[in-house]
Amino acid sequence: MTGLRRAGGVIFNDNDYYIINNIHYTLAISGGFDDSINITTTDYQEELLPNSAIIHSTYDVYGFGLVTIKITVTSPKVGEVTETMKGFQIGPYTISKPYFLAWY
């Protein structure tokens, strides 16, 4: 999910039956007018139940200009999924699509 005062993503297990285990994910936000925005956060979740989601976001973004938001999710059962989108940063505000989804 991206939007005002926060930038991030939603990781969704759209399967009706299978639990996804050992999920590692990285959120990276970079760019800005002078390339001064460079934030990377990582996290881990042991399992993601069927039809459930993980929301990962940060308040740490500050700058001005075009930004690239990238989320990479890996799991032994599913492999690696990467999604990228563009946004615009105005001070602490990130303007982009309302939701950034990495679907399994």
The one-letter code for the residue type at 76 is P
Percent of the chain with pLDDT over 90: 56
Mean pLDDT of 10-39: 92
Least confident piece of the model among 2-16, 36-50, 58-72, 79-93: 2-16
At 65 the pLDDT is 95
Other CB atoms within 10 A of residue 86 CB: 11
Q: Which of 83, 71, 74, 7 is nearest to 44 (CA)?
A: 74
pTM score, whole prediction: 0.82
State phi, psi for 31 to the nearest 5 degrees: 125, -140
State phi, psi for 91 to the nearest 5 degrees: 60, -125
Cα–Cα dist 51/15, whole Å: 6
Asked if pLDDT for residue 104 goes beyond 60, the answer is: no
Q: Which of 82, 38, 91, 39 is nearest to 63 (CA)?
A: 91
Q: Domains of the chain (ranges plus CATH)?
A: 7-97 (2.60.40.10)
